[in-house]
Chains A and B, each alone.
Chain A
Amino acid sequence: MLGMCRIKEWRLQLRMANEKIYDRINEQSPWQDITEGNKIFEAATSKDFCTGEWRTATPVWDKGKCKQCLLCTPVCPDSSIPVTAGKREEFDYDHCKGCGICAKVCPFGAIGMREGK
């Protein structure tokens, strides 16, 4: 309900099929539509809160230098370095706040920090 921003198309479609109170409340909703005590009747809604918008510095992954040691993944405070089949993938920029810990921890200089989003 709160802070929804760039909802991915497929998520939206998923919801349309099974509409909940969540879908009716957005930043245009009148006060009468606000749920009592801001209760949210859905799980894992924090995914829809694009905290990546707060970023003022952006990590850039250099795949050529990356050895897939995976030291970066566990230190990310926002779980924004997804891993599939033992290999890291591109940053989740919807949720990366640009703290730079991954760049600091990378032993191979495979993560650089770029100013701005």
Chain B
Amino acid sequence: MAIRERLSGNEAVAYAIKQVNPDVMPAFPITPSTEIPQYVANYIANGEIDTEFIHVESEHSAMSATIGASAAGARAITATSSCGMALMWEELYVAASNRLPIVLALVNRALSGPININADHSDSMGARDTGWIQIYAESNQEVYDNFIQAFPIAEDKRVHLPVMVCQDGFITSHGVENILLVEDDKVKGFVGEYRPEHYLLHPEEKMALGPYAVSNYYMETKRAQRQAMIQAREVILETAARFEEMTGRKYGFFEEYRMEDAEYAVVIIGSAAGTCKAAIDEIRNTTGTKAGLIKIRVFRPFPEDEIAKALSGVKAVAIMDRSEMFSATSGPLGAEVRAALYQAHSSVEAVNYFYGLGGRDITVSDFKTVYGNLETIAQTHVVTGMYEYIGLRSEQSKEV
């Protein structure tokens, strides 16, 4: 029987770490992920796990030590947020290109500047090209479940890539929710003993890792890395199916909420999906407008075909970005979803909004406005409000 608890998202991740008992965890504190290494340090101090915790002087060192431990043959993890991950930038690429199955608990927080400690996706979206698998969560339950699934995905021979398990800073990391925990032995069985085939401390195999690759080798190396990301797709789904067998909780590349007959859809990542679901229920119960939602769980690898297919029946879609990328056009999710629609020769009307930057609230009423806009766009075939910020103060009476 599952264990009923009430935990914050950070507590849930720390609890999952306790259950997995990884070999090494180098970490440096940064709001809002600080609690994760703090709780793990408590577990270690209490003798509950034997993870080697490395106190490092920065996140650059945290990721470097995690890479070193993983290359040596250890199951290695770390946790960070925002500018902490920005300081890991170079190492994020190294971890991925060295094909190390590291798991990183990322608590999403806005990047400086201006300095801000609240939720948005600028940290992980900035790292979307580093070669890490990225899995996002709406709730504490999801971040716990995703964190456990990250190990079999990362460590699968077809993949061998690092995984970033993302949750929204404070909203889920510090918000306490009811949660169903999996029993220790089941979690241990699910992730299995870590037995890498090649590692630096292998007593009988000479090995060098991370060599200089001249231009005669760099492109072939990158193509091989791309193959791992392609193969991650099937492993993510297989792992989700195995997780469903164990817990009954179903996961995929994304969640479709009331999409069966939806004419107007929102595509969103993270905790705001919950608010959007509340808006959908209200809209459907009042005006009867067929509103639906696609909540992205896996952003890397990007489920291009699947998203285009899921949106094939709708009249209009709003793609909602919780980070800027200053292209002066779309946000990262907007760019990728619209590319997917274009590739599928879709004729759905698409609008891209920004919301929730630096922790700005988004409300049920905001989502109702979004669905109202989608109805107008579908009727007029004129996309108004493209790339606008939801909830922005402006001299104009209405931005979106």
Contacts and interface: CB of A to CB of B under 8 A. Distances in A.
Interface of A: 1-3, 27, 29-32, 34, 36-43, 45
A43 B208 CA distance: 7
Contact of B212 (A2, A31, A37, A41): A2
A2 B214 contact: yes
Contact of B198 (A1, A32, A34, A41): A41
Interface of B: 97-100, 160, 198, 205-214, 216-217, 219-221, 223-224, 227-228
B207 A34 contact: no
Given A31-B219, A36-B228, A39-B208, 19 more contacts: A1-B211, A2-B211, A3-B212, A27-B216, A32-B224, A34-B217, A34-B223, A37-B98, A37-B100, A37-B160, A37-B209, A38-B209, A38-B210, A39-B209, A40-B208, A40-B211, A41-B198, A42-B206, A42-B208
Nearest to B100: A37
A34 B211 contact: no
A34 B224 contact: yes
Contacts of B99: 36-37
A108 to B, nearest CB: 37
Q: Of residues A27, A29, A39, A43, which shows the largest number of chain B Cβ atoms within 10 Å of its Cβ?
A: A39
Chain A: interface secondary structure? loop
Contact of A38 (B206, B221, B227, B228): B221
Contacts, number: 62
A36 B224 CA distance: 7
A3 B213 CA distance: 8
Q: Of residues A2, A31, A34, A37, which shows the largest number of chain B Cβ atoms within 10 Å of its Cβ?
A: A37
Contacts of A45: 208
A43 B206 contact: yes
Nearest to B223: A31
A99 B209 CA distance: 28
B155 to A, nearest CB: 13
Contacts of A34: 217, 220-221, 223-224
Nearest to B96: A37
B214 to A, nearest CB: 6
Contacts of B219: 31
Contacts of A38: 97-98, 209-211, 213, 217, 221
A94 B224 CA distance: 31
A40 B217 CA distance: 13
A27 B97 CA distance: 19
A20 to B, nearest CB: 10
A98 B220 CA distance: 32
A100 to B, nearest CB: 24
A116 B350 CA distance: 62
B220 A2 contact: no
A34 B214 CA distance: 13
A42 B212 CA distance: 15
B160 to A, nearest CB: 6
A40 B209 CA distance: 7
A39 B97 CA distance: 11
B48 to A, nearest CB: 33
A56 to B, nearest CB: 19
Contacts of A42: 206, 208
Nearest to B198: A39
B98 A31 contact: no
Q: Of residues A1, A29, A34, A41, which shows the largest number of chain B Cβ atoms within 10 Å of its Cβ?
A: A34
Contacts of A31: 219-221, 223-224, 227
Given A31-B223, A31-B224, A37 B210 contact: yes
12 contacts: A2-B213, A2-B214, A27-B217, A31-B219, A34-B217, A36-B224, A39-B198, A39-B207, A40-B211, A41-B198, A43-B208, A45-B208
B239 to A, nearest CB: 20
A37 B217 contact: no
Contacts of B217: 1-2, 27, 34, 38
A42 B216 CA distance: 20
Nearest to B214: A3
B97 A37 contact: yes
Contact of B220 (A3, A29, A36, A41): A29
